[in-house]
Structure 1
């Protein structure tokens, strides 16, 4: 019998007071994400025994309401001011309309049912409050934040989806950590969000006009398996040492070595035996540490993509160090000046596909995100998982592992490619 999730209640949760700001302008980094999906992640906890479940649910609702006082855009809605030529100017109306809070019970689902299967099980998509096909543009009519708290047989799953036109991964976890602080009893939060857009993309803070979107610009695709590959601190140390030794340098980072390893393993597992075949890799570039004018705590999107193409022959014949060095060079080019040039590009909406080339990979997320700092008062999470909204072939979500120094990669590929990859990924 298929395991089921029973929805107990759903309601809108607003801040405890009137919003401290009336609107939030969106810049080019934000607007480029209108046609893709919200960020969605779920945290798994051992069951808290300190209080009744009903009291716990109400406690989480109350603490969420107080947290929204510090993050008024997440309690608002997207809004548009129409202009001539079928264009509109979009912003966040901080109207305190509220985020969605759902309480659910999965009476036959245990923690092991979620974290032990070879691939992320289908049940996880029922634990995160987002529907496949919903885009960030739908924030015009839907909440910008949705939370689902699901009781498991031996634990708790807190799933959260946030509009990606309003937050990136850093801002997403900034909010969740702040909510967990308040849940633990704090009257305030340790790091206040900064909403000022003046020193970010579109430095003159002008309003940006873009074509009005009336349909989903994401091409539909079949659901593919997603598997979490775990790399320990020791394994990562071996990869980094090997990459730097082969390249004759010391500047290749742990993540760059890991990205090169996964890229090469994917190609090795499904080679075309054609040295000239182009292999593609894209990665999200974080701006916060690269742009001196961006303040700590900046709340919004501060990422943009950079891509690299290498022939199959070069990837396989020159080894890990050569591939990692090429990735290092790509990322090193993302300077303050390059970032400012990126902000001047036209906001353009087209079909967004990760797998646009042979075995293309696209990396998102970061191992530096404070995922396991989200202690709501009964201990840190034991694992993090994604649902099915970001189900695209070649997508790789990077997260810190539960133990210090480790990294988890959530990889989405067809079953055939995933099975083949598993044979190569464990070897250094």
Structure 2
């Protein structure tokens, strides 16, 4: 993950109704909890380091405990209303300024903090945006290379439209029932059904040639699939990107159940054997994950999960109003899944597309039949 951006996630909070609320006291309390958290996740207070080895030439990248200047904590202010952030159809570009380490990639963790917390308050209406931004963390990465520039690739995506789409629990239940009915099964999940819908509608919006192969990738957790499973206190990520492929013509000619079943099979077939075979092949021929290596104009990539308890952290401010993200890791066809604010199985999708495709996508009749709000 040396060439991927820092993860940037933020939650918008309202002003507490308690009139005794003090921003100064709030910030001091947050700093204390930030420090206490780092005692449990102390690697995030350190920096990365690289050691060059010879015969063959390789670079070992690791978290250096001897270089631990700490994580960042930032307090900033902006002259905006909550409506300025939530009302526009497109997520406004100003949101990107609410996140530290803009455009930084993992490798920049040699000099930048691995974790940065930024609290941005709206001076106009005293709203708070609290952000927890962890880097994709790993233990040790060894890469065979002649020089470091060969395994660093800084993403440079084109201008994208970024929008949030809301799906109620009722609309998702109807979609899931329809998909399973078409496949004469009950095994296809809500997320697999929704992913199939987005895959089809984005493909249609892109107007791909019928013979063009298109791919839907879904990030999945490996922890419980391994035998034995990884322990709960395993610090790093363990993820895999599953995929289903089809020509654009086949994907659009068949019903949505056909697409969802292909995604379901990709999930079912991802087991301990597959994971370990991938790790073995990577050890024999290691590479650094880069956006340019894996993404093209015919794929969509789905990350996140409706199971993350995003709205469970109140920080004493009450329930968050909305989730937003920064510039990081955005590309044409990137889809991020969040739980809906009202809970109950509702889902929000953050979707990034080229401007010329977004209008067609959000006007797609199949998509409109499921989405509740845009």
Normalised TM-score (structure 2): 0.89
The residue that corresponds to 1:248 in the other structure is 184
Aligned-residue CA RMSD (Å):
2.0
**In structure 1, which of residues 70, 82, 87 is the aligned counterpart of residue 52 of structure 2?**
82
The residue that corresponds to 2:14 in the other structure is 46
Structure with more of its chain in helix, by fraction: 2
The residue that corresponds to 1:379 in the other structure is 318
Q: Larger relative contact order (C-alpha < 8 A, sep ≥ 6)?
A: 2
When residues 353 and 407 of structure 1 are mapped into structure 2, their CA distance, relative to the original with a 3 A threshold, is farther
When residues 285 and 299 of structure 1 are mapped into structure 2, their CA distance, relative to the original with a 3 A threshold, is same
Give 1:415 shift: 1.2
Number of residues of Structure 1 aligned to a counterpart in Structure 2 = 355
2:4/2:290 contact within 8 Å kept: no
2:90/2:162 contact within 8 Å kept: yes
The residue that corresponds to 2:193 in the other structure is 257
Distance of 1:110 and 1:248 partners within structure 2 = 49
Secondary structure at 1:69 match in 2? helix
Give 1:410 shift: 0.6
When residues 157 and 71 of structure 1 are mapped into structure 2, their CA distance, relative to the original with a 3 A threshold, is same
Distance of 1:393 and 1:355 partners within structure 2 = 12
**In structure 1, which of residues 329, 332, 335 is the aligned counterpart of residue 271 of structure 2?**
335
Normalised TM-score (structure 1): 0.79
Distance of 2:297 and 2:158 partners within structure 1 = 18
Alignment of 1:15-414 (within 5 A): 33-48=1-16, 49=18, 50-84=20-54, 85-95=56-66, 96-106=68-78, 108-132=79-103, 134-152=104-122, 153-166=125-138, 208-211=142-145, 213-214=148-149, 216-272=152-208, 274-291=209-226, 292-344=228-280, 345=282, 346-349=285-288, 351-353=290-292, 356-404=295-343, 405-414=345-354
Give 1:358 shift: 4.0
Distance of 1:355 and 1:223 partners within structure 2 = 19
Note the alpha carbon deviations across 1:235-255, whole angstroms, 9 max, x for none.
Answer: 110110111011111110000
Alignment gaps of 5+ in structure 2: none
Secondary structure at 1:408 match in 2? strand
Is structure 2 residue 368 aligned with structure 1 residue 426? yes
